[in-house]
A and B are shown apart, each in its own frame.
Chain A
Amino acid sequence: MNLEEARRILKPKAEDALTKPAPHGLDLDLSVFKLGTGFAIGVEGSERLLESVGIDLRERNRSGSYYQVDNRAVYASARRSGLTVKPLSEALKESENLNYYWKAVSVNTDKYTAAAFLGEKEGYFIKVEDGVNIETPVQACLLLKTPGLIQAPHNIVVVGENSKLHVITGCTAMREEAGLHIGISEFYLKKGSTLTFTMIHSWGKAIHVRPRTVAHVEEGGVFISHYINTSPVASLQTQPAARLNGNRSRAHLSSIIISRGTSQIDVGGTLELGAPACSGEILSRTIGFDKSVTVARARVAGKAPSVKGHVECRGLLLSNESRIDTVPELEARVQDVQLTHEAAIGRIAEEELLYLMARGFTEEEARSIIVRGFLSVELTGLPENLAKYLESILDNIAASL
């Protein structure tokens, strides 16, 4: 089979789904946006913006890089043996890579996957051969520059047996104008492999964001995802899923949602514990500022014996006009499962403020200490450098309340 044949089979399914809304989040009229390559041709002039989402254009402490502007790949590099980083369009010239093409995410999931498939231009393809440990991260940057455009990168990450890979993806937009980002991400973790996937989003207040992510995890594999959204968006809806299909595989999904302005955010995580002795957790921290509305979802399905799943959703309202809902869902299909959840939403406790002020802090400092504490999620599995970088982002959020 070649790419053309694969697409021919998928196309009718996608066309049928073009009007299918997503189950959650604001429903968008796609005709308002245009598909296309976009006029931008490089990342020049966006260095500081990219730095703010974890992209180092000098590639220090990076094993490889991929930069995409609008729907055009502008740079790809891989600096370790056993590691491939290339534009998807190039990778799909090799027929074996078609085994990963729209296999985890279905084209007819909703209108966004359908539009992404039909207008598909580019994305990144990252692959690690069996038995290779890539210690320093691969970075991928997705920059949206052209107003009114649908940016629809299709990303595929394949981690070979007993291999290890860290990916950091930074997504951001240049302009105040409207745009739509539909990132399709398919992750394939072979036996005994580990993938940590860190994603930092910093969009603009007129950008709509609809990432669609599914990770397939084989026996003994470990999928760790850390997601941080720092800036206002028009709307953001995503519910990345980890499908644990192999025995004893694990997943850890954490998200930190800073909801500002009039953002309408609906972010979740799905954990499918589909094989014996799998385990995983979904952690989320949401801070509501201004007039933002946020729904934090988490869904854990226990479908095999001896699985364990845990959900922890916490929300902090820093404005009277903001709103946070949490929707934890647990689904048990067999007897021998252990599924738990805890959820809490609140304001900063007066008592804690007063205590810290008695310790000599100003009210602002006290708030910042409490908010930083709220944002402390364990940054599991990350190399020291990357963990420190994420900590510094969280420090900045807490310091600039």
Chain B
Amino acid sequence: MLYLKSLVVELGGKTVIKGVDLQVNRGELALLMGPNGSGKSTLLHAIVGDKRCRVVSGSIFFEEREITGLTMEERVRLGLGLGFQFPPRLKGVRLRSLALRILEKRGLPVDEAEKVLEDYSRLLRMESLLDKDFNVGFSGGEAKRAELMLTLIQNPRLLLLDEPDSGVDVENLALIGSAISRYLSLNGKAAILITHTGYIAKHVKASEAHVLLDGRIVCSGDPGEMVSNIMEHGFEACVDCRRARR
């Protein structure tokens, strides 16, 4: 579904992604791990077409079509959806009305839109937050659940999730994990999920894990094995391993 070929990305005049090749197929969930500043968020933002992340060279293919030159709007329409690590607070914009506008934008009639919203807000326990301004006064877990809900109701084919598990307690983690799993059980979906801590790995079924270090994927492999290694030894171990392999 997604194929990145020798991708190099600049952010604020600095090369952040220094040649990444990555493939994610239908039905797969790829975990993207790595220390702070390794380029994980930049990679996801570049895939979705955030204009601040400039592709210097390389290509992005989505469903056999090159999308490197497309705008974010076009990519979102094709079926890419990014869940932000830090979505902004939107004063005066109620979560419910924002969600309904997203569903309306998808072309759903009002009654169907309301049904979808009801379903997802129940799944992510958002009912009591629907009439609050988006992200204003939300706790860490609430903000993550709200962001995941808005990303999922967009109905993207490729789900790009930027640390949906950071700063989230165990209970919220299970909720978030089960919502992602349910979504990916639908036909023709795939996801890349950034996790800094790896906590989410217990709650979703990942097909592969990748470690990003200084803008390059240095290691790919079995998610269970890699997550437990990293949780035990930290990313230092990846640095050492990479050095040893050289």
Interface residues of A (CB under 8 A from B): 349, 351-352, 354-355, 357-362, 365, 369-370, 372-376
Q: Does B133 contact A (CB under 8 A)?
A: yes
Kindly identify which residue among A355, A358, A361, A373 contacts B91, using a CB–CB cutoff of 8 Å: A373
A360-B105 contact in complex given A354-B50, A373-B133, C-beta closer than 8 Å? yes
B48–A358 touching, CB < 8 Å = yes
Kindly identify which residue among B84, B92, B102 contacts A376, using a CB–CB cutoff of 8 Å: B92
| Stretch from B70-78, B118-126, B186-194 contacting the other chain | B70-78
Indicate with 1 or 0, residue by residue over B107-138, a CB within 8 angstroms of chain A CB atoms: 00000000000000000000000000100000
A362-B102 contact in complex given A355-B87, A370-B93, A373-B133, C-beta closer than 8 Å? no
Distance between Cα atoms of A376 and B90 in the complex (Å) = 11
Q: Does B218 contact A (CB under 8 A)?
A: no
Q: A360-B106, A374-B91 are in contact. List 4 more A-B contacts (CB 8 A).
A: A351-B88, A357-B76, A365-B101, A372-B93
Closest to B75 in A: A358
A371 to chain B, nearest CB (A): 9
A360-B91 contact in complex given A354-B50, A355-B84, A373-B133, C-beta closer than 8 Å? no
Distance between Cα atoms of A359 and B106 in the complex (Å) = 11
Distance between Cα atoms of A361 and B101 in the complex (Å) = 9
Distance between Cα atoms of A375 and B133 in the complex (Å) = 13
**Would you give 24 A-B contacts (Cβ < 8 Å), ordered by A?**
A349-B88, A351-B88, A352-B88, A354-B50, A354-B72, A355-B84, A355-B87, A358-B72, A358-B82, A359-B150, A360-B73, A360-B76, A360-B77, A360-B154, A362-B73, A369-B93, A369-B98, A369-B101, A373-B90, A373-B91, A373-B133, A374-B91, A375-B92, A376-B92
Q: Which residues of B are found within 8 Å of A357, using beta-carbon distances? A: 72-73, 76
Distance between Cα atoms of A351 and B51 in the complex (Å) = 11
B76–A352 touching, CB < 8 Å = no
Distance between Cα atoms of A355 and B154 in the complex (Å) = 13
A355-B76 contact in complex given A360-B154, A369-B98, A373-B93, C-beta closer than 8 Å? no
Distance between Cα atoms of A376 and B82 in the complex (Å) = 27
Distance between Cα atoms of A355 and B102 in the complex (Å) = 12
A370–B90 touching, CB < 8 Å = yes
Distance between Cα atoms of A360 and B82 in the complex (Å) = 10
Interface residues of B (CB under 8 A from A): 48, 50-52, 72-73, 76-77, 82, 84, 87-88, 90-93, 98, 101-102, 105-106, 133, 150, 154
Distance between Cα atoms of A365 and B101 in the complex (Å) = 10
Q: Which residues of A are found within 8 Å of B72, using beta-carbon distances? A: 354, 357-358
A264 to chain B, nearest CB (A): 27
Distance between Cα atoms of A253 and B121 in the complex (Å) = 36
B88–A374 touching, CB < 8 Å = no
Kindly identify which residue among A355, A360, A374 contacts B92, using a CB–CB cutoff of 8 Å: A374
Distance between Cα atoms of A351 and B89 in the complex (Å) = 10
A359-B154 contact in complex given A351-B88, A352-B88, C-beta closer than 8 Å? yes
Closest to A285 in B: B92
Residue of A351, A355, A359, A362 with most chain B CB atoms under a 10 A cut-off: A359
Distance between Cα atoms of A361 and B87 in the complex (Å) = 15
Distance between Cα atoms of A362 and B101 in the complex (Å) = 12
Q: Which residues of A are found within 8 Å of B52, using beta-carbon distances? A: 354
Distance between Cα atoms of A357 and B70 in the complex (Å) = 14
Q: Which residues of B are found within 8 Å of A351, using beta-carbon distances? A: 88
Q: Which residues of A are found within 8 Å of B90, using beta-carbon distances? A: 352, 369-370, 373
A363 to chain B, nearest CB (A): 8
B110 to chain A, nearest CB (A): 16
Distance between Cα atoms of A215 and B32 in the complex (Å) = 63
Q: Which residues of B are found within 8 Å of A372, using beta-carbon distances? A: 92-93
**Lowest 5 CB-CB distances: which A-B pairs, in order?**
A373-B92, A376-B92, A373-B93, A360-B76, A352-B88
Closest to A394 in B: B92
Q: Which residues of B are found within 8 Å of A365, using beta-carbon distances? A: 101, 105
Q: Which residues of B are found within 8 Å of A361, using beta-carbon distances? A: 101, 105
Closest to A377 in B: B92
A358-B84 contact in complex given A369-B98, A369-B101, A373-B133, C-beta closer than 8 Å? yes
B88–A355 touching, CB < 8 Å = yes
Q: Which residues of A are found within 8 Å of B82, using beta-carbon distances? A: 358
Q: Which residues of B are found within 8 Å of A370, using beta-carbon distances? A: 90, 93
B92–A358 touching, CB < 8 Å = no
Closest to A376 in B: B92
Q: Which residues of B are found within 8 Å of A375, using beta-carbon distances? A: 92
A395 to chain B, nearest CB (A): 11
Kindly identify which residue among B50, B106, B133 contacts A358, using a CB–CB cutoff of 8 Å: B50
Distance between Cα atoms of A341 and B88 in the complex (Å) = 24
Distance between Cα atoms of A395 and B19 in the complex (Å) = 46
Kindly identify which residue among B87, B88, B102 contacts A360, using a CB–CB cutoff of 8 Å: B102
Distance between Cα atoms of A358 and B41 in the complex (Å) = 14
